[in-house]
Amino acid sequence: MKVKIIGFKTGELRPVFNRTLTIDVPLDIPNDVSDELGEVIEDLGEAMQMALTKSDYISVRRILDGV
């Protein structure tokens, strides 16, 4: 699964931030991948923080692989 984060600024015609993150953690998370999940959450948080520093509002979307 991929997550796309796009940041927009009021008055700008194009996005000011665009990042796609790949998430490889299974949806039914067993206890032994808790470190991987923590890294995914950290990566998402950093990307969202960067988007919000440059943007007025953001869009976060899920992109399904192979569809």
The string of pLDDT tens digits covering residues 16-55 is 999 999 887 666 666 665 677 788 889 899 999 999 999 9
What's the total number of domains in the chain?
1
- The pLDDT of residue 52 is 94
Residue 63 clears pLDDT 70, i.e. is over it:
yes
What is the mean predicted confidence (pLDDT) over 55-60?
95
Q: Which domain holds residue 29?
A: 2-63
Residue whose token pair is 């998370």: 29
> Residue for token digits 């796309």?
4
What's this model's pTM, rounded to 2 decimal places? 0.78
Average pLDDT over residues 3-20: 95
Residues 49, 2, 26, 58: what is their CA dihedral angle, to the nearest 10 degrees? 30
Q: How many residues does the structure list for the chain? A: 67
